[in-house]
Amino acid sequence: MFGQYTFPLTIDLAGVFLAFEKAEDNFIYRRQCQEGSVTKALLNCCSTVLIHPIEPLNTPKSLTPNLLIDFENSVVLEPRAEQTIFLKFPVEIGVFISSTQGQQLVDVFSLQKQKFTVYGEPSDGVLCKHWKSAVYTDIPDTNPCLEGVLELNITSANTTWLEITKVVVSAYGMKIFFDNQMVALKGSLKIKNGIAETDFEDAPLKTGMIRATKNFTARLLSTTAAKFVMEHGI
Amino acid sequence: MILNKVVYANVTLLDLLIVGIILVVALSAAKGLSIYLRRFLKEKLSKEHIEIIVRLVDYSIVAVAVLMVLPMLGLNLSGLLVAGGIAGLAIGFASQSIVGNMISGLFLIVERPIKIGNSVDIDGTAGIVEDIRIMSTTLRTFDGLFVRIPNQKVFTANITNFVANIARRFEYIIGIRYSDDADKAIGLIRKLISDHPLTLVSPEPQVFVDSLGDNSVNIIVRIWAPTSDWFSVKAELLWKIKQALEKEGIEIPFPQRVVWLANDPGKTEIPAPHL
């Protein structure tokens, strides 16, 4: 499903019907899936359609830029160790239109169940999108319309053993890449003095993957930092 | 020359003109700087902080301009201080509430128990904070009324801030018949909560039999939701729970009483009407 298309366009795949239909000089955008349906008129538009995986923090409402991935089984890490694990994360599908004037997000939808959670306490914690994933030591098989793969490089500078049960990442730092088989992210979790910090690498998991269009763009502000400091425990 | 004409004391028309120009320039500068600051800080600070900074700059420019023009108007500031001492006492007594409101306003701005845009309850008045000024705080009540509360009252009142925390809990008490399966009802309610995207995974929802009432087995349901959406979730889920329970044959009973007739030798029970 992901890629670049030209008008007019009709896609009927994985339970999603999506079309850009010509209506005189304009186009009508229609999308139908389990989540619901959307119809939009695109006036004096456009040349290209981009269907890309985007940061999974837009549906059902954009309430937070943070994603918490709960591990189905916790990971125990020895002191001063470095280990790479693989997790799955939910994929949201972004439909962009593109012209010489730039790109515009027309629609976002997800085929996954959505949940939210609080990381920390309600009084001083952070609202996060919630996702539960098994922990893999190799790249797991995924349906790219539903799930992506997060390669997480864990580095511990701690002198004690650690048990990691979750990871929180910021959408502002996500650099999503995709190809026909997979949607992927490369991230890191650095633990020092008991405090963990997550970040992303601007590199594909495999060669030949295409960089997805970003919806969350970091501003020059600490509140929209690309890194996430896990102050409320791992 | 007409501009050198003395108006009073040693103050000439030229002095008044200069005073006028200084005040106009100061007010224009304050206005211009306010607009610039609002634009410049729009993406960088919250609306509340921007308003505080803009007002501080605004009042400072006007205060400096007034201090500059007072000597031109023949008002000696050192003399004012002496006179101010005596007048200050009189004014102080007369303006206790004004000063109290101003100081309370400053403390409210520093302590920040409420922010502009917060949903709050101040001493029984609930609404959205529209503005926190130096003398008063204004609320827009949920039914659209404008309420001005003096800052002294705000500062000393009990304040409930409904949106200070990121998540909020709400609660239902669902009564089911004694003949219904409470475990099945709890399972149905838990599934509905789990399926709703805006009910939080953590803090965990709680669903359990709370009491055996006169007419029903009472199940308590406690759910956390993001503060921004808790009311819509609360309104939506209750009806869904009622529909789901009824679909599975679990009914929410009406109050009922079993009556035994004393003069009936067989003590025939009169069945409750099936409602």
The angle formed by the CA atoms of residues B171, B175 and B177, to the nearest 5 degrees, is 160
Taking only the tens place, the pLDDT of each residue in B142-163 is 999 999 999 889 888 999 999 9
What is the residue type of A9? L
Instruction: Please report where in the chains the tokens 């904070």 appear, as a residue.
Output: B129
Structure tokens at A216: 């969350």
Q: Chain A within 8 Å of B143 (Cβ-Cβ)?
A: no
Q: Do residues B104 and B154 make contact, with C-beta atoms less than 8 angstroms apart?
A: yes
- pLDDT computed for residue B270 by the predictor: 59
- Residues of B (72-101) whose Cβ lies below 8 Å from A: none
Higher-confidence position of A141 and B255: A141
Residue A14, CA distances (Å) to A142, A145, B34 in order: 14, 8, 54
Dist CA A3 CA A7 (whole Å): 13
Q: Do A116 and B224 touch (CB under 8 A)?
A: no
| Ranges assigned E (strand) in B79-142 | 119-122, 125-132, 136-141
Residue A16, CA distances (Å) to A55, A90, A147, A190 in order: 19, 16, 15, 39
Q: Do B197 and A60 touch (CB under 8 A)?
A: yes
Residue A158, CA distances (Å) to A188, A229, B210 in order: 16, 16, 45
Q: Chain B within 8 Å of A122 (Cβ-Cβ)?
A: yes
Q: Chain A within 8 Å of B166 (Cβ-Cβ)?
A: yes
Higher-confidence position of B264 and A183: A183
Taking only the tens place, the pLDDT of each residue in B115-151 is 888 999 998 999 999 988 878 899 999 999 999 999 8
- Residues of B (34-63) whose Cβ lies below 8 Å from A: 43-44
Name the strand (E) or helix (H) holding A19.
strand A16-23
Structure tokens at B195: 């399926």
Taking only the tens place, the pLDDT of each residue in B9-41 is 778 888 888 889 999 999 999 888 888 888 887
Query: For B201-211, what is the mean pLDDT?
Result: 94
Q: Do A116 and B226 touch (CB under 8 A)?
A: yes
Mutation target among A110, A117, A128 for the B interface, most CBs of B within 10 A: A117
- pLDDT computed for residue A121 by the predictor: 92
Taking only the tens place, the pLDDT of each residue in A2-36 is 888 887 888 888 788 888 888 877 888 899 888 78
Dist CA A80 CA A83 (whole Å): 10
Name the strand (E) or helix (H) holding A199.
strand A195-200
Dist CA B65 CA B88 (whole Å): 22
Q: Do residues A144 and A53 make contact, with C-beta atoms less than 8 angstroms apart?
A: yes
pTM, to two decimals: 0.74
Neighbours of B229 (CB within 10 A): 19
